[in-house]
Amino acid sequence: MTVSLKTKGLADIDELCVQTIRFLAMDAVQKAKSGHPGMPMGMAAAVYTLWMRHLRFNPQSPKWINRDRFVLSAGHGSMLLYSLLHLSGYDLPLDELKNFRQWGSLTPGHPEYGETPGVEVTTGPLGQGIGNAVGMAIAEKYLAARYNKSGYDVFDYSMYVIAGDGCLQEGVSSEASSLAGHLGLDNLIIIYDDNYITIDGETSLSFTEDRAKRYEAYGWYVQVVGGNGNDMVAFEDAVEKAKAEKDRPSLIQFRSHIGFGSPNFQDTHTAHGAPLGEDEIKLIKKNFGWDPEKSFHVPDGVREHMAKAGESGARLQEAYCEMFKKYTGAYPELAEELKNAQDKRLGIDIDELLPKFEAGKSVATRKASGAVLDALMPKLPLVLGGSADLTPSNNTKFEGSEDFQKDNRSGRYLRYGVREHAMAAIMNGIAVSDLLIPYGGTFMCFADYMRPAIRMAALSKYPTIFVFTHDSIGLGEDGPTHQPVEQLASLRAIPNLVVIRPADANETAQAWKYTLEHRDRPIALALTRQGLAYSIRTNMAAPPIWQRAPMCLYRPTRPMSCCWQAVRRCN
């Protein structure tokens, strides 16, 4: 298919920036001898446009709490993100792009949370990013409901997601998108990279459903943008309409061309997941009028031009800080609460509040857990609970809680529906707010349904809390389909995941204390259905064994060098 190389609606300097992004991606994949050039080439113009004209960010302060969130759910297109981060002024030098996919670089094959400034969540395993973004959108709605006051928009950020065919095929995104539509999350905008190609070949091999109609069925606002990936007039119009929509999440189905501009590989799966080859890259550069001999070339003016979006973001953040200073005067208690949350302080005397279970009785640890939540949750406004439609069994709903719904953004209890996988991915998205703590329950046996998202939490050290009840054959008559047999062992096999199985009611209380006070990685609680006898041991002299367990890592520890140091507080 022959497509014009020129982007409609972009000035010359913008066009040059877009081409630079494409070539950095191609060059980095070529140098690494592995990676995915096709998606960055096809989506460069749209994502550049989003990034420069819509996304609110400050490269000097990548953790600004009111920044817009950018989620590359199609994480294999990581070089698109790294190119944008580098060119727009994040602390990601060109040398890091040259070290793409190398051991110890800040540019791993797929974006990893905590490794690279500006990477909001770990993506790569498909569909997860959509689930995460739904969680981020829930977090924003809740935070806005709690903290915004007349004249003080403390939280009004948006979520922008780039998703591919694979993301839309994975069940986790179906689950999360259905819930997002139900909740009317109008702060969520997905750009669907509709490029007709997957690894096996054309999408006609396996994916011919009407995707726009499916998202309409979920209750989303759906727009279809043609223009072969190059019509930024139509794309901008769609983004503006999506931002103006105040009732529904948005899907923009954006027709693009994988490997855009490659004479031999455009619109083929060859462009997806392997270097294009030196010869083809030269052909492409010639095609666009570039010097074919130059690699990793950033033409004059590109960085300066692309810095403008961040500079504008920095000015917005300055104004935000001014606003927040006044807010602190007007609402000191709310400001204090936020500061505590940022410092990972719960702001309560947890030992005082924890229930003490008297010796000589018997209670299921899931019920003890419910009693702990009843006692603590009224004092913990930044903890959001929920269950995947097993609320009466999981004992996750605390006394006095209200549901988080479209008409009640102050609710702190999430009705996830029978969607375990989405629940876990959504909780991960809530967790990366760095302010809210999510917990969610299901039967332990169904940990299997959410395992890919549990792993993402473990790899990324999201402080997500998984509540697994009915943790053994004590589950009883439901039978082996519902009995966890291997789940405890297999959860404990996940590096970084702390799995606590308290042996009685008082240990359950201590487990919750530990869980709420430790936010450096995810924690799973295994709780019984059946009653367990207990003795009183509320003042344990030694910390429980799990507090002394060494941490097992996916990769050798590296100082969280970039994004954490760059945190710039203004509140």
User: Which residues participate in catalysis according to the annotation?
Assistant: 420
Pick from 297, 344, 379, 451 the residue near a second copy by CB under 8 A: 451
Please say which residue, 54 or 455, places its beta carbon nearer to a second copy: 455
Pick from 319, 418, 549, 551 the residue near a second copy by CB under 8 A: 418
Please say which residue, 104 or 360, places its beta carbon nearer to a second copy: 104
Pick from 11, 149, 171, 517 the residue near a second copy by CB under 8 A: 171
Scanning 151-159, 240-248, 452-460, 539-547 for contacts with a second copy by CB under 8 A, the matching segment is 452-460
> In angstroms, what is the minimal distance from the CB of 489 to a second copy?
5
Q: Let me know: does 466 contact 396? Beta carbons within 8 Å.
A: no
Q: Let me know: does 428 contact 384? Beta carbons within 8 Å.
A: no
Q: Let me know: does 142 contact 134? Beta carbons within 8 Å.
A: no
Pick from 11, 93, 205, 535 the residue near a second copy by CB under 8 A: 205
Whose structure tokens read 């009407």?
210
> Environment class of residue 447 by beta-carbon count within 10 Å: exposed (0-12), middle (13-18) or buried (19+)?
buried
Q: Does residue 415 bind a second copy (CB under 8 A)?
A: yes
Q: Does residue 556 bind a second copy (CB under 8 A)?
A: no
As a dihedral over the C-alpha atoms of residue 436, residue 437, residue 442, residue 447, rounded to 10 degrees, the angle is 110
- Restricted to residues 32-61, the positions that interact with a second copy (CB under 8 A) are 32, 34-35
Pick from 4, 11, 149, 206 the residue near a second copy by CB under 8 A: 206
C-alpha span between 48 and 30 (Å, rounded)? 22
> Environment class of residue 353 by beta-carbon count within 10 Å: exposed (0-12), middle (13-18) or buried (19+)?
middle
Pick from 8, 63, 182, 243 the residue near a second copy by CB under 8 A: 182
Q: Does residue 120 bind a second copy (CB under 8 A)?
A: no
> In angstroms, what is the minimal distance from the CB of 398 to a second copy?
15
Scored b (16 or more CB within 10 A) or e, 534-560 reads beeeeeeeeebebeeeeeeeeeeeeee
Closest CA to 26 of 15, 42, 40, 8: 40
Q: Does residue 411 bind a second copy (CB under 8 A)?
A: no
Total residue length of the chain: 571
Binding pattern for the stretch 278-297 against a second copy, x by CB under 8 A and - elsewhere: --------------------
Q: Does residue 560 bind a second copy (CB under 8 A)?
A: no
Pick from 30, 66, 116, 123 the residue near a second copy by CB under 8 A: 123
Q: Does residue 211 bind a second copy (CB under 8 A)?
A: yes
- Strands (DSSP E) contained in 233-288 are 250-255
Q: Walk across the sheet containing 437-443 and list its strands.
A: 413-415, 383-387, 437-443, 465-469, 523-526, 498-500
> In angstroms, what is the minimal distance from the CB of 205 to a second copy?
4
Pick from 226, 332, 480, 543 the residue near a second copy by CB under 8 A: 480
- Restricted to residues 128-167, the positions that interact with a second copy (CB under 8 A) are 165-166
Q: Does residue 240 bind a second copy (CB under 8 A)?
A: no
C-alpha span between 11 and 87 (Å, rounded)? 17
Characterise 476 by phi-psi region: left (phi > 0), alpha (psi -120 to 50), beta (else): left
C-alpha span between 40 and 407 (Å, rounded)? 39
Q: Does residue 391 bind a second copy (CB under 8 A)?
A: yes
C-alpha span between 48 and 55 (Å, rounded)? 10
Please say which residue, 333 or 477, places its beta carbon nearer to a second copy: 477
- Helix count (H) and strand count (E) of the chain? 19, 15
Whose structure tokens read 């994916």?
207
Q: Does residue 213 bind a second copy (CB under 8 A)?
A: yes
Pick from 58, 198, 266, 369 the residue near a second copy by CB under 8 A: 198
Pick from 15, 374, 389, 434 the residue near a second copy by CB under 8 A: 389
Scanning 40-48, 326-334, 492-500, 526-534 for contacts with a second copy by CB under 8 A, the matching segment is 492-500
- Restricted to residues 217-236, the positions that interact with a second copy (CB under 8 A) are 217-219
Question: How many residues interact with a second copy (rule CB under 8 A)?
Answer: 85
Please say which residue, 127 or 310, places its beta carbon nearer to a second copy: 127
